[in-house]
Structure 1
Amino acid sequence: MMLHHQIKVVQALASALTEGGRGSNGTAFPKQPEQPLKLYEFEGSPFCRRVREVMTLLNLDYEVYPCPKGGKKYRPQVKELGGKLQFPFLVDENTGDHLYGSQQIIHHLFKHYGKSGKTPRRYAHYPKIPFVAFAGTLLNGARGVWVKKKIKNRAAPEQLLELWGFEASPYTRIVRSTLTELELPFIFHNVAKERWQDQGLAKLRLKPGKYVPLKGGKREKVLALMGENIQVPYLVDPNSGAHMFESDDIVHYLQRQYG
């Protein structure tokens, strides 16, 4: 089992490297909307990945409603709300917008939640065919693409699960893939790296010594939740009271509790 998990980690890391570091760093002072953004997507989609990378850059928290291929919980909602089955699909109750298309959603996010209101050139003109992101999906073993066929037909948990992480984190990607395959909705709390002192694993940062987050930044608030250091992924399940670190432990918990 441990070997299988390490293979997942290597694949998820390779997937992250294909994007050249996108989805790791973000602003320390995000413009968080009053009403939560709702993203209907699935982990293995290269188009959805583009949006998640920008969400990390802007350090936004948002609700995720997983819509894997073959899924029956949230795909019908997308058809009802927007009229077609296309992903990603963003619902922004702050502006009243229902948006399809990764590029359109990205322009919307920068317009309303970026500092300048304009989309940076790097994120303004994606190729129509996402060859790089698609390669990342394949390197990750196409996890988070299809619904897990063997799961019981359970109703969604009464309260949304909460997951802390960032898009490029290979350990977080493993957990998100499982959440997608189990069609478990969750709140994703971005914990983007805000400066060079945040780089590296929790126990192996570039800056030696006790970890101190940027004063007043988002990570300072997260540190109060996690203790002496910031480590992702971190899962909170308000339905059972579970609080967990370590991707392998989280995956086993999700499969046992909801699989």
Structure 2
Amino acid sequence: MVIHQIKVLQSVASTLAGGGRGVSGTPFPSQPIKPLKLYEFEGSPFCRRVREVFTLLNLDVEIYPCPKGGKKYRQIVKEKGGKLQFPFLIDENTGDQLYESEQIVHHLFKYYGKTGKTPAKYKHYAKIPVAEFAGTLLNMARGVWVDKKIINRAAPNQLLELWSFEASPYSRIVRAELSELEIPYILHNVPKERWQDQGPAILRLKPGKYVPLAGGKREKMLPEMQGRMQVPYLVDPNTGVKLFESAKIVKYLKKQYGKA
């Protein structure tokens, strides 16, 4: 438990390095008909940029982890795109396959943003992602390399499902574990939709029983989350397991999928 709390503190530091990006999102997203597919790995600064925009636009996405040394999905990226570079987005709604985080960000705003235009603060990224690199280092580069014990293990038959938002320190710990174990999953973004949502689950700015914004995505997701707006929340359709709490989720993933 002490080790897990250290991970939490490191993950909090990584969140702070991001300057608040990846916390809030629109309550009324333009979710595509066909699922977006993102090949990436948790510790990549460039992938983090893309995930932050997924959170801002409140989009769900299928994640196919491609950590360094991984064998399952990196080759798919090479076959489809011609090179090993991440992130790599496949959008079957538009027919696009994109490398380069900046191009992916423009694509997401164009097709799934409210105005179809990229906001000024997202139009140009620094060539060297200093803040994102700092976040990766503060988080001890978790999610960068594959867990070599499971290198030849087959992927689960069905995609796991994770409710999360990018800047959640506890969710970051779980995403890193999924990345290192090369476990593909559906990422359900549930960012903060208004000021009343801000703060940890037990210390929100608006005290009392939590009531989601009427008609917002969080309200629609509550039944699937057992009526609790708390992240991370993991559902494994392969085993029927449903879990809150990052420590419990990581323990489960290691036991179920981390065996040699």
Q: TM-score, normalised by structure 2?
A: 0.98
Aligned to 1:116: 115
User: How far does residue 45 in structure 1 lie from its aligned partner after superposition?
Assistant: 0.1
1:158 aligns with 2:162: no
Aligned to 2:8: 9
Aligned to 1:240: 239
Q: Which amino acid aligns with 1:203?
A: I
User: How far does residue 152 in structure 1 lie from its aligned partner after superposition?
Assistant: 5.7
Alignment of 1:39-54 (within 5 A): 39-54=38-53
Aligned to 1:86: 85
Alignment of 1:1-259 (within 5 A): 2-151=1-150, 153-259=152-258
| Alpha-carbon distance in structure 2 between the residues aligned to 1:77 and 1:90 | 12
Q: Is the 8 A contact 2:71 2:151 kept in 1?
A: no
Give the SS at the match of 2:148: coil
User: How far does residue 229 in structure 1 lie from its aligned partner after superposition?
Assistant: 3.2
| Alpha-carbon distance in structure 1 between the residues aligned to 2:142 and 2:182 | 13
Name the count of aligned residue pairs.
258
| Alpha-carbon distance in structure 2 between the residues aligned to 1:118 and 1:230 | 31
Mind listing any 5+ residue stretches in structure 2 that lack a counterpart?
none
Mind listing any 5+ residue stretches in structure 1 that lack a counterpart?
none
Q: Is the 8 A contact 1:202 1:229 kept in 2?
A: no
| Alpha-carbon distance in structure 1 between the residues aligned to 2:209 and 2:131 | 37
Q: Which amino acid aligns with 2:166?
A: E
Q: Is the 8 A contact 2:70 2:151 kept in 1?
A: no
Q: Which amino acid aligns with 2:50?
A: V
| Alpha-carbon distance in structure 2 between the residues aligned to 1:78 and 1:152 | 18
Q: TM-score, normalised by structure 1?
A: 0.98
Give the SS at the match of 1:189: strand
Task: State percent identity of aligned pairs.
Answer: 74
Q: Which amino acid aligns with 2:47?
A: C
User: How far does residue 227 in structure 1 lie from its aligned partner after superposition?
Assistant: 3.7
| Alpha-carbon distance in structure 1 between the residues aligned to 2:246 and 2:148 | 22
RMSD (Å), alpha carbons: 0.8
Q: Which amino acid aligns with 2:199?
A: G
Write out the 4+ residue segments of structure 1 that deviate beyond 4 Å after TM superposition: none
Q: Which amino acid aligns with 1:57?
A: L
| Alpha-carbon distance in structure 2 between the residues aligned to 1:9 and 1:236 | 21
Q: Which amino acid aligns with 1:76?
A: Q
| Alpha-carbon distance in structure 1 between the residues aligned to 2:108 and 2:72 | 26
Q: Is the 8 A contact 1:211 1:228 kept in 2?
A: no
Q: Is the 8 A contact 1:41 1:68 kept in 2?
A: yes
| Alpha-carbon distance in structure 2 between the residues aligned to 1:166 and 1:129 | 24
Give the SS at the match of 2:37: strand
User: How far does residue 101 in structure 1 lie from its aligned partner after superposition?
Assistant: 0.2
